[in-house]
Copies of this chain bind each other. A is one copy, B any other.
Amino acid sequence: MANRFCCERREASCAADATTPTRRGSGITGTPTQIAMILTCLLAGLTVYAAGSTESEIVSREFQSKNFANSKIGVNPLRKLLIYLPPGYTSSTKRYPVVYFFASPFDSSFRAIFDQMGARGVLDRAIAAGTIDRFIFVTVDMTTPLGCSWYVNSPATGNWEDFMVQELVPYIDANFRTLATRDSRGIAGHFMGGYGAIRLGMKYPQVFGSVYALHPVGTGNGVKILASLPNFELMENAKTLGDIQKDGSSTIFTSIFEAHIPDPNNPPLYIEFPAHRVGGRLTINAQVMDRLRSNFFLESLVGQYADNLKSLRGLKFDWARSDLNWDHVYSNQAFTHKLNEYGVPHEAEEYNGSLDREPNWGADGRVTTDMLPFFKRRLVF
């Protein structure tokens, strides 16, 4: 099945005849009709968000991926994204660096940073103030029916890694005036999205040359017993994937297990169990737990990917000191120590704040004070 390109607002007409590929070998294809549609969509986007060509624009796209055919849990292969184009984009012929952004799956949607948190104004003002030079900013929906994809290839959930690296990045480079090299390509994200940014930067430094993670999770283990958090009785008794969604914590951990210790032959959750709770007593399967830790925690991957990490132009992450989940704080502290141990240059800031105060997209938020200045220093413009 060919990919279909479309803007969100004209989905019916776009979904029609996207059949003849024009570019081969990239996993990304487009017909002339599609390209016309793109322009239409782009202009449609302008009417919604921008008053004139000297202002920034938000373009909405959909994207038919080949990488979710094998997903066992019903991932929609039509993936959505928004592209922020800086002021002056349409009136110039200049090429721009790109920052890819993964929002927290706990946001109401991947678009919420624009729809609710004022991301466009934040980016506009930062460009105006010289905090960062003009660049393209892409936010993409990486969620599954259970929430987070964890940004990996998995026989349970689909090939999210391949989707990003083999489909989305080539698509953006083919369809927008990008500086299409790792030196001018950054990746960022918030919370689980920060996890994804570091993970993809760690594995694909030739694709993403600079990485910034806002309050990442999953960097390592905290002080609580991982296996104590999900409700294993609920999970083992689940008849459908939906049964698990009654419990927030179990849903999150099912998504982790589907990504990192998947078992495609074990419906309905398609996971291996790292622990069992029988009669109130928790029994841990040390082998599965070992596999989970080795695959999941970023700190477990530092040794293996140390040279990749060293080759990055820039790596920074931060976290709020007063996250009520202390494990997030602890594991980020441990992660920066581990990176130092392997000689990986990086910045790692713990700041005064909590998650519920949403410190990222406010006037003096971390995006303005730290993330954008970081990309100004690290990207080639």
Contact = CB atoms under 8 A, between A and B. Distances in A.
Nearest to A351: B349
Interface in A284-313: 284, 286-287, 289-290, 293-294, 303-304, 306-307, 310
Interface residues of A, number: 48
A257 to B, nearest CB: 15
Interface in A26-44: none
A321 interface: yes
- As for how many copies of this chain the complex holds, the number is 4
Contacts of A129: 130
A362 to B, nearest CB: 12
A341 B226 contact: yes
Interface stretch (A4-12, A141-149, A216-224): A216-224
Contacts of A303: 286, 289-290, 293-294
Interface of A: 129-130, 221-227, 275, 282-284, 286-287, 289-290, 293-294, 303-304, 306-307, 310, 321-322, 324, 326, 333-334, 336-338, 340-343, 346-352, 364, 369, 373, 377
20 contacts: A221-B338, A222-B337, A223-B337, A225-B340, A283-B343, A284-B342, A284-B343, A286-B306, A286-B307, A286-B310, A289-B303, A289-B342, A290-B306, A293-B303, A294-B303, A322-B340, A336-B352, A347-B351, A348-B351, A349-B349
